[in-house]
Amino acid sequence: MKRNFRFWIYGLMGLFMLSSCAATKPKNAFEYYTLPDSPNYALPENWAAWPGKKDLADTTPLGLRDQQQISQADVFFIHPTSFLNKRGHDQWNAEINNSKVNQITDEGAIQYQATIFNEVGRIYAPRYRQAHFEAFFTEDTASARKSLLLAYTDVKAAFDYFLEKENQGRPIILAGHSQGALHMIRLLQDYFDKPDSMRNKLVVAYAVGWPIPKDEFRFLKACEYPEGTGCICSWRSFKMGHKPKHIKNEAEVIITNPLNWKTTEDYISKEFNLGAVLDGFDKSPVIGMSGARIYKGILWVDKPKFKFSFLYPFANFHRGDLNIFYMNVRENVKTRLNSFWR
């Protein structure tokens, strides 16, 4: 129970910070600090999830099974921001061996997000020198860009190691949330969005919790139906009826409804929600948690009810982007992989 409670407390911390950190400025510019040591991805300890290593990507909610050992695909998962130190922090990027950051990563994103995919593929989730949460809100945008570029440098290095030493030509599923989805955009551009790219190895990319303009890619397209392959699914979850100010000036973005895997604006009722995982792995997924519909580039979601939900006053469901639709994503990735093999 402590782990479940921490999961939601971390989410609440992040959203309290989100509501209060706009236009903040860290103590010093990016160049002021000595960079954390770069990770050696030949070492399993530099991966939050690694096949053959016991980690929280191997766990499942009650009634589900981890089948990584017999799977025929690989999942490269890029975790969201877990570097949440208070304002005035003394680094723009997290150290790989920061135990507090790694605990938040493992007990949050790895257990509650990466496990969605452990029925279809071996899960590889690198630890990386992620940008601090404030990088998304600071006035020092030059430092923020450098911080995010450093983070992507690690993600790319991890992916290169994965391709060279581990993948051996298996189909690839990409998944990432928030900062992880941002890095995935560039990874897709560098490896899958070129005429001579590996696009034929891509089953699907779930880039969730970050806006992706429709014209971001030359060849890759949004997924428009449940069986599509080599395409991108993306959404950002908000309370039904909430209209965030930022979407008024936002370019058209890729947007998917994970209840029917289409891009239309039809309301899909909670009866199509196959199961949410919001309150621990000692229980089965909760069927019929929330309905959803697309509205102007975001996903409107019926407010879910879960333990401590009364403490959650926000209309932004960013923390639950994947968890509210846990079983829908878990089933969909199986559908797309089966389609890939045909």
Residue 294 parent element (H or E)? strand 292-295
Beta bridge partners of 142: none
- List pLDDT tens digits, range 79-96: 999 998 765 567 899 999
pLDDT at 89: 61
In this predicted structure, the answer to whether residue 334 has a pLDDT above a threshold of 80 is yes
What stretches of 135-245 adopt beta strand conformation (E)?
172-177, 202-208, 231-233, 237-239
**pLDDT for the residue numbered 16:** 40
Question: If you average pLDDT over residues 126-143, what whole number do you get?
Answer: 92
**Which tokens go with 331?**
């089933």
- pLDDT over threshold 80, residue 248: no
Confidence of residue 27 (pLDDT cuts 50, 70, 90): low
pLDDT mean over 14-23: 42
Cα-Cα end-to-end distance for the chain? 43
Average pLDDT, the chain: 90
Q: What is the pLDDT of residue 215?
A: 95
Residues across the chain: 342
* Residues 78, 306, 335, 292, Cα dihedral to 10°: -100
- The answer to whether residue 307 scores a pLDDT higher than 90 is no
Binning pLDDT at 50, 70 and 90, where does residue 26 land? low
pLDDT given for residue 326 in this prediction: 99
Q: Cα 327 vs. chain centroid, distance in angstroms?
A: 15
User: Is residue 341 pLDDT above 60, yes or no?
Assistant: yes
